[in-house]
Chain A
Amino acid sequence: MATSNNIHSLSVEASTSQLAKVRDFVAEHAERLGLSEKEIGNIRLAVDEAYTNIIKHAYKNIPAKPVEIELGSDNSQLWISIKDEGESFDVEAYNEPDIRERIKNKQRGGMGVYLIRKLMDNVQYNRSGHMNEIRMIKHL
């Protein structure tokens, strides 16, 4: 884990076995910023959903693929960036999930992006070269 000023980073493999570690990493730093327990819980869940989407969709469950997580803050905001080298996510093609319809069709999934948007104040998707980035912001 590298630390530079108020920026913290964590490199992990894309694996659901790392989920608890990733959640704990962001929660630990969010706590230091004096966020409420509820806000920390929201950030924990948003990061879980973003990382899970990378494992399942960007890397299609192929193990040992790299994921870089970076977290930083200033006086006004906390930002979390998660980068991968997998397939990019087409945010334009994403529709809000109709849960009733999904249950009827015994479908699951498709809820992560919706939750992330509900839980964070600002969410951006960037593609640079072969790298995807989701950048999530919480106002302080």
Chain B
Amino acid sequence: MKNFGISIREVDNIRVLDISGELDAHTASQLENSLKSLIDQNEICIIVNCKGLDYIASAGLGVFMAYIEDVRGMGGDIKLTNMNERVYNVFDLLGFPTLYDIHDDESEALTGFNN
């Protein structure tokens, strides 16, 4: 899909997903497959770095809604970082900042996991 990209790297035993482009009902399945695959491998400390993300619709937020309970129940978390203002506003409109661990910067999220 040319308008959405996802890649995975590892930092201090934490899996970091770098997502870019536009996350909507068409591209959400790519994020879902990546998250599901990590969780299936018991990789439950996950950071989603949204630095390259230009746009998100509610279908994108739905992916995070579907997996956060499982991951937290297993002792992990999905932390979100580096959102631009437009993307953050969508999370904010739906009240996500009180329910998810959202950081300005990836290093803050890493510190959160290491503590």
A sample of 5 inter-chain contacts (CB < 8 A) reads A20-B22, A49-B58, A56-B25, A99-B65, A115-B93
Partner pick for A111 among B63, B69, B94, CB 8 A cutoff: B94
Given contacts A99-B95, A118-B93, contact A111 B61 (CB under 8 A): yes
Which A residues are in CB contact (< 8 Å) with B99? 99-100, 103
Main secondary structure of the interface of A (DSSP, over half): helix
Do residues B59 and A106 form an inter-chain contact, with CB atoms below 8 A?
Answer: no
Main secondary structure of the interface of B (DSSP, over half): helix
Do residues B57 and A49 form an inter-chain contact, with CB atoms below 8 A?
Answer: yes
Per-position binary interface string of chain B over residues 56-95, scored 1 when its CB falls under 8 Å from any chain A CB and 0 otherwise: 0111011101111110000000000000001000100111
Partner pick for A115 among B58, B63, B65, B68, CB 8 A cutoff: B58
Count of A interface residues, CB-CB < 8 Å:
30
Given contacts A100-B99, A115-B94, contact A38 B86 (CB under 8 A): yes
Complexed CA–CA distance, A38 and B84 (Å): 12
In this assembly, does B36 line the interface, its C-beta being within 8 Å of a C-beta of chain A?
Answer: no
In this assembly, does B113 line the interface, its C-beta being within 8 Å of a C-beta of chain A?
Answer: no
Chain B: number of interface residues, binned into ranges: 20 to 34
A42-64 residues with Cβ-Cβ distance < 8 A to B are 44-45, 48-49, 52, 55-56
Partner pick for A109 among B22, B62, B68, B95, CB 8 A cutoff: B62
Which B residues are in CB contact (< 8 Å) with A100? 95, 99
Do residues B94 and A19 form an inter-chain contact, with CB atoms below 8 A?
Answer: no
In this assembly, does A16 line the interface, its C-beta being within 8 Å of a C-beta of chain B?
Answer: yes
Which B residues are in CB contact (< 8 Å) with A41? 86
Which A residues are in CB contact (< 8 Å) with B26? 16-17, 19-20
A1-38 residues with Cβ-Cβ distance < 8 A to B are 16-17, 19-20, 23, 38
Given contacts A106-B69, A108-B66, contact A52 B24 (CB under 8 A): yes
B61's nearest neighbour on chain A, judged by CB, is A111
In this assembly, does B37 line the interface, its C-beta being within 8 Å of a C-beta of chain A?
Answer: no
Which A residues are in CB contact (< 8 Å) with B96? 99
